[in-house]
Every structure is written in structure tokens, then in C-alpha cells.
């Protein structure tokens, strides 16, 4: 079998193929297109090709697999994979040579390849997330413009902002100045509502998502996002691996007898981490019926403050959702 690697970039990509003993077979640069990659790999003897996980790695991997080759998608942060590259001199050509050697010797750490279904779901959720962020930015701008004229919008849900605005006695000059902003807010609100409705229907049809929604304050968007981000619950050895992946574990700088921990690492997908923290605030506000989970966060808040307690609750909630999914069990409220 031949071995090889791809150093992938947006415009051009380096390809290197070697024999089992490391002798060079092919090394060249090609455009990063399906057509160029197909020409480069079609008709060649079966090879094992290593590619670093990135935004474009999946379609590239699928293109090469369609040519009859085995593709290894590797985690890019694995330092040993570049052990044969001089760290003082970095070029794309040196990178692809190091990656090809790592492929030949098996020095890599596999990255998880998300299923096609959950890639599509991630895309839908990401679009909705961006629309929500844009709406928030426009609402903040509208509030600021109104404050400059001594007007204020009452605190309300994002969906009600335009209605609150229209209830104000806004001067004609100001109304003309923010008219496009208000129209954009209306369009965004309609688009978000349509996206939420469609995703809610998807959530109803997925048994795993329905199970996750039995946890307190976890709605269809949070559960769908958790499902899409994790993809395969069994790729994690335990719940601690999930929370580390989601960036909900504390930073640590310890040496010898000194142990120092800081805020959470915030590694991994930001969107899911934010949704879990929002769900935790919802649990915090459940003065009645919260059970043992609410009692636990209140005790922690009394010692460490509510902000730290809510983030710790988000970490605990991520672990609970992992266990529910892994064990096929709905959430059961434990008495406080």
C-alpha cells in the first residue's frame, strides 16, 4: 500500500505519496477543487491518505474516498504528527512531508468525522444562531438610538421589541432614521421563528432529542444542538471527556505542591456552551419543583457566588445529558 498526505489550503493543496519504506512517489501542488483532486488520485493504486481536520476536510476526504483510497482525518493539534519537521522553518512543502511520514508510521490521532445527518443539522442550527446574534446586535443599536433622544424600550423578549418600539411616541426624524433597522428586525424575527418551528418539528421526530428534553430547562434547540455537536455519544469514554470537549472544565496550572485553577477553558463549540449556561440559569430560577439539582446549585452559590455556580451547573447538566443518552434513560427529578 502507498501512503500519503495532503496539506490543505483554500486555493492550493500540496499532495505527497510515498512507498512503505518512505521513498517518494509523487509530490506536487494542485488547486483545491474536486476536479483537480480527482485527477490527482483517480486510477492510482490504493493508498492511505492523511489529512488534518478542518473546515474543508470532509468534502476533500469524500472526494479521495470516491477514488478508492483510505482517508485518515487527523486531529491537527497532535504535536507528534509533526515530529519530522524542523520547527524553525515552516513551509507547506515541509508540512506535507511531515504528514506523509506520520501517515506511514501511524503517528496521528484520529479526529471524529461527523455523520452526514448531523452535519446538515449543525448547518441549520448555525444559520439560526447567526440570525439570533444579528437580531441581538440590531436590538442593541435600536435601544442606543432611542436613548439618544430620551426614549427607552422596556425589557422584553426579542420577539416583542418591534411592538414595544411602535408603542412609543417616536419623533418623525428618528423614525425615518431607524426605519430600515426596524424592518430588518421584523424580517429577522420572522426568519428565526420559521427556523425554530422547523427545528422543533425535527426535534419531535428524533427519540434521542426527545429524551434529552426531559432534563430541566432543556428545550428543542438546546437538545438538537447537543445531539448535533456530540453526534456519537460513545466516542467519549466518560462524561468528563464531554465537558472537556465543550470547554466547561477549569483551566489548570499546577506544578509540584502548587495547584492553581482558573476559569473554564472555553474550548470547543461556543454555541452549545452558551445554550447549556442559559439552561442552567433557567434551573437557577426554578424556585419550585427544581429538586436536587436546584438545591445543589443554591448551596454552591452560597459558597462561591451565583455566576460560578451556574457555570458549574452547566458542566453538570452536560454530564447528565451524556448519561441520559448513553443509558437510554429519561431524566427523573430527585427530591431536594
Each residue's pLDDT tens digit, 116-142: 999 999 999 999 999 999 999 999 999
Any idea what the CATH number is for the domain that residue 41 is in?
3.30.420.40
Q: Give yes or no: residues 11 and 54 share one domain.
A: yes
Final residue before a domain boundary, out of 105, 134, 151: 105
Residues 247 and 313 in one domain: yes
Is 152 inside any structural domain? yes
pLDDT of 85: 66
Q: What is the DSSP letter of 258?
A: B
**Are residues 37 and 121 both part of a single domain?**
no
Range of the domain at 37: 2-105
Residues 13 and 71 in one domain: yes
CA atoms within 13 A on the CB side of 283: 33
- 274 lies in some domain: yes
Q: For 298, how many CA atoms within 13 A lie in the half-sphere containing its CB?
A: 14
Total count of domains within the chain: 3
Domain assignment present for 247: yes
Cβ-based neighbour number of residue 38 at 10 Å: 14
Q: 237 and 188 in one domain?
A: no
For the entire predicted model, the pTM comes to: 0.91
Residues 198 and 240 in one domain: no
Instruction: Please tell me the distance from the alpha carbon of residue 7 to that of residue 54, in angstroms, as a whole number.
Output: 11
Residue 36, in any domain of the structure: yes
Contacting residues for 307 by C-beta, under 8 A, at least 6 apart? none
Q: In this structure, are 21 and 92 located in the same domain?
A: yes
Q: Are residues 17 and 72 in the same domain?
A: yes
- Residues 185 and 222 occupy one common structural domain: no
Same domain, 247 and 290: yes
End-to-end C-alpha distance for the chain, whole angstroms: 61
Domain end residue (candidates: 205, 240, 268): 205
| Rounded mean pLDDT for each run of 10 residues along the chain, 336 residues in total | 95 96 96 97 96 96 97 92 75 92 95 96 97 97 96 93 95 96 97 98 97 96 98 96 95 71 88 96 80 89 93 96 97 83
Of 180, 205, 230, the one marking the end of a domain is 205
Amino acid at each position: 500500500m502507498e501512503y500519503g498526505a495532503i496539506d490543505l489550503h483554500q486555493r492550493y493543496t500540496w499532495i505527497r505519496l510515498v512507498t512503505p519504506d518512505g521513498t517518494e512517489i509523487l509530490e506536487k501542488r494542485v488547486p483545491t477543487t474536486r476536479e483537480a483532486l480527482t485527477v490527482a488520485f483517480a486510477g492510482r493504486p490504493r493508498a492511505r491518505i492523511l489529512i488534518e481536520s478542518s473546515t474543508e476536510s470532509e468534502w476533500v476526504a469524500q472526494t479521495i474516498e470516491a477514488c478508492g483510497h483510505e482517508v485518515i482525518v487527523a486531529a491537527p493539534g497532535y504535536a507528534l504528527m509533526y515530529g519530522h519537521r524542523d520547527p524553525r522553518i515552516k513551509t507547506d512543502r515541509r508540512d506535507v512531508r511531515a504528514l506523509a511520514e506520520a501517515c506511514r508510521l501511524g503517528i496521528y490521532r484520529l479526529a471524529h468525522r461527523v455523520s452526514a445527518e448531523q452535519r446538515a443539522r449543525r448547518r441549520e442550527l448555525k444559520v439560526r444562531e447567526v440570525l439570533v446574534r444579528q437580531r441581538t446586535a440590531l436590538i442593541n443599536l435600536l435601544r442606543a438610538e432611542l436613548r439618544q433622544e430620551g426614549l427607552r424600550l422596556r425589557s422584553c423578549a426579542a420577539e416583542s421589541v418591534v411592538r414595544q418600539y411602535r408603542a412609543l411616541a417616536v419623533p418623525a426624524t428618528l423614525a425615518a432614521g431607524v426605519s430600515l433597522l426596524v424592518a430588518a428586525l421584523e424580517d429577522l424575527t420572522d426568519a428565526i421563528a420559521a427556523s425554530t418551528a422547523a427545528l422543533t418539528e425535527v426535534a419531535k421526530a428524533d427519540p434521542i432529542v426527545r429524551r434529552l428534553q426531559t432534563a430541566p430547562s432543556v428545550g428543542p434547540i438546546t437538545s438538537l444542538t447537543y445531539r448535533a455537536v456530540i453526534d456519537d455519544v460513545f466516542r467519549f469514554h466518560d462524561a468528563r471527556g464531554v465537558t472537556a470537549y465543550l470547554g466547561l472544565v477549569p483551566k489548570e496550572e499546577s506544578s509540584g505542591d502548587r495547584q492553581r485553577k482558573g476559569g473554564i477553558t472555553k474550548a470547543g463549540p461556543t454555541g452549545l456552551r452558551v445554550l447549556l449556561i442559559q439552561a442552567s440559569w433557567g434551573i437557577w430560577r426554578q424556585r419550585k419543583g427544581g429538586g436536587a439539582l436546584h438545591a445543589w446549585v443554591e448551596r454552591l452559590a452560597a459558597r462561591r457566588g451565583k455566576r460560578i455556580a451556574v457555570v458549574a451547573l452547566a458542566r453538570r447538566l452536560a454530564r447528565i445529558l451524556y448519561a441520559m443518552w448513553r443509558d437510554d434513560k429519561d431524566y427523573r427529578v430527585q427530591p431536594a
